[in-house]
Amino acid sequence: MPNIFYDSDADLSHLANRPIAILGFGSQGHAHALNLHESGCDVRVGLYPQAKSWTTVEAAGLRGVDVPQAVREARIVMMLTPDTGQGILYRDHIATYLAPGSTLMFAHGFNVRFGQIVPRPDLDVSMIAPKSPGHRVRVD
């Protein structure tokens, strides 16, 4: 049986001095990045150079950087890009930049479960699976 955690279970002190990279700024990336940022966490949003959401990220008061830079700066990396491209993204732009002891997070377990992403043994891996789309996770 999985553990389910709620707001009252959260202790944000565990995130102090742990920069966070949110990769992607779609439905889930938008919600996660803004919720963490507004909770006082050190957040950057990793995007590919041609992403249409650069201006949206900046308009939201967040810092957008390319994916490798976001991963190099972070100790927690949350992959919130479409499942279909995560394997290539991980191999080409994430894996070599993750510091030992970093936490790699997912909102869906498909790529890890089916071997598209094989995290190194020196990484912590977790999944935060929201009960709803990002626009329902966050009230703007």
In CATH terms, 17-137 corresponds, of 3.30.565.10, 3.40.50.720, 3.40.50.10320, 3.30.565.60, to 3.40.50.720
pLDDT digits (tens, 9 = 90+) for 2-32: 788 787 888 889 888 999 999 999 988 999 9
pLDDT of residue 137: 60
Residues annotated catalytic, as ranges? 108
The domain limits of the chain are: 17-137
pTM assigned to the model: 0.89
Exposure pattern of 68-85 as b/e (b: 16+ CB <10 Å)?
eebbbbbbbbbbbbeeee
Residues 6+ apart with CB under 8 A from 77: 20, 21, 23, 46, 70, 71, 94, 98, 102, 103, 104, 105
pLDDT of residue 113: 92
